[in-house]
Amino acid sequence: MKSWQSSGATLMAIGALFACSSEGGGPSSITIGAELQNGPNGPRAVCVRLPVLLGSQSAATTSVGSAFDMDLLALRHNAHIRFPGARNAEAAGRTLSLGQLSAGYAETVTVSGSDGVEYEVLVHSGCSDTSNDDP
Amino acid sequence: MISQLPWTGVPRVVLAGAFAFAVGVVDARPAHAAPVSEGSGPPARTGFQMALRSGVSFPMGDASGGGSDTLGRRYAWQLPIAIDLGAKVTRSIFVGTYFQLGFGAEGSDREVTAYCDDDDDNFSNDVSCSALTARLGLMANYQFAPDAAVNPWLGYGFGFESASQSLNDKQHGYSETTTASGLTYAQLAGGVDFRGSVGGGPYLEFAMGRFTRTSTEQNGRQVYSGAIDDRALHAWITLGLRLVVRP
């Protein structure tokens, strides 16, 4: 009798455990991208997904002709974007936090390329990380 | 500040220790000293010797110098399986190679464990996580009583190591693997073998190293590979048993 009672109690405890469990959620898919909006070098885009694991990094880069590059580096909690080759201060590097990106981020940056042309680059969250021009 | 050889990044003190060990074990026992328990076990052998090791390994130290990136936050304790292959070049000295794989789970990092813990009620492990380490190198050990039934030993090894942590989210079709690799500067070990037709016994190992490179894959595509700028020392402490063929 005691063994029945103890088995029943064990089953109830297991049932309660499952009843109390919550739906598991996978890693959030936060991305950051940079898209060239104009200029003679054609459409260019680069996009990375913020990684999940401690120590992970995700990077991508693309060149806009010989005018400048668009470099992205994503860590778990922030992402860095740089425009090597740019001549203007507005195109200095930026660091965006996970909070900024998950809330939705969009900024158009004017980049003065080394070819003397002014380019518009849209920096934004929510890009598709399969859209890289230079994977 | 630990001085390093410029081309290897290996601290000079580690190399000095390795050299001292190599020299010391050649003639560690005075010529007039009586062998320990001589004749109480099988005769001491020279030539081929092999050992299989397993136990439990615990992480220590930092994976990198970045904030609180400790080894224990990346990797949980592990179950290692190792093989030592080499030869007894004298009755007391073994030299050879070691190869070890360690299997475990994700570390104590809260964000990662929150993803990896299967806390839903669909009886399916939706997000699986794992960690795998590998070490490969050269080693030597000195056996204090090579012809006794009870044979204590001390060993030193050095080589390469890598450690990977993986996350696979089947529901959302996302996988991520990060691998760090570097050098094992000092794999210090000691134990006691009980010798018969085969030998074996408990051992304790302290393997200190430093990661120098890292890479990340997302959905099977490498998205980062590069050197680690902010390096740090870490170690694995292993308590286990080994089985020795031709002890």
Say whether pLDDT at A112 is over 70. yes
Nearest CA-CA distance, residue B211 and chain A, Å:
11
For chain A, the domains span 31-125
Q: What is the mean pLDDT of chain A?
A: 81
For chain B, the domains span 40-245
Q: Does the distance separating the beta carbons of B64 and A52 come in below 8 Å?
A: no
Contact B222, B247 (CB under 8 A): no
- C-alpha–C-alpha distance, residues B21 and B85, integer Å: 20
Tallying the residues shown for chain B, one arrives at 247
Q: Could you identify the residue written with the tokens 């870490």?
A: B234
Contact B167, B107 (CB under 8 A): no
How confident is the model over A25-35, as pLDDT tens digits?
567 789 999 99
- C-alpha–C-alpha distance, residues B133 and A123, integer Å: 38
Confidence of residue A107 (pLDDT cuts 50, 70, 90): very high
- C-alpha–C-alpha distance, residues A8 and B100, integer Å: 45
Tens digit of pLDDT at every position of chain B (247 positions): 444 444 444 455 444 444 443 334 333 444 444 444 456 889 999 999 999 999 999 999 999 997 789 999 999 999 999 999 999 999 999 999 999 999 999 999 999 998 888 766 666 668 899 999 999 999 999 999 999 999 999 999 999 999 999 999 988 899 999 999 999 999 999 999 999 999 999 999 999 999 999 999 999 999 999 999 999 999 999 999 999 999 9
- C-alpha–C-alpha distance, residues A46 and A32, integer Å: 8
* A15 phi and psi angles, rounded to 5 deg: -60, -40
Six token digits for residue B81? 């399986």
**Which residues in chain A have Cβ-Cβ distances shorter than 8 Å to B223?**
48-49, 51, 57-60
- C-alpha–C-alpha distance, residues B132 and B105, integer Å: 8
- C-alpha–C-alpha distance, residues B149 and B41, integer Å: 4
Contact B18, B156 (CB under 8 A): yes
Q: What is the pLDDT of residue B239?
A: 98
Question: Would an 8 Å CB–CB cutoff place A89 in contact with chain B?
Answer: no
Greater confidence (B121 vs A15) lies with B121
Q: What is the pLDDT of residue B12?
A: 53
**Which residues in chain A have Cβ-Cβ distances shorter than 8 Å to B124?**
none
State the pTM of this model.
Answer: 0.80
Q: What is the pLDDT of residue B61?
A: 97
**Which candidate from A52, A55, A58 shows the least CB-CB separation from B180?**
A55
Among residues B132, B31, B42, B146, the alpha carbon closest in space to that of B79 is found at B132
The burial of B123, by beta-carbon neighbours within 10 Å (0-12 exposed, 13-18 middle, 19 or more buried), is given as exposed
CATH fold for the domain made of B40-245: Porin (2.40.160)
Say whether pLDDT at A125 is over 80. yes
How confident is the model over A31-66, as pLDDT tens digits?
999 999 987 767 789 999 999 999 999 999 999 999
**Which residues in chain A have Cβ-Cβ distances shorter than 8 Å to B210?**
none
Contact A37, A123 (CB under 8 A): no
Among residues A81, A76, A83, the alpha carbon closest in space to that of A49 is found at A76
**Which residues in chain A have Cβ-Cβ distances shorter than 8 Å to B178?**
51, 53-56
Q: Could you identify the residue written with the tokens 């450690």?
A: B163
Type of residue at B162: S
Return the bridge partners of B220, or none.
none
Confidence of residue A114 (pLDDT cuts 50, 70, 90): very high
Cα end-to-end span (Å), chain A: 67
How many other CB atoms are there within 10 angstroms of residue A56's CB atom?
A: 25
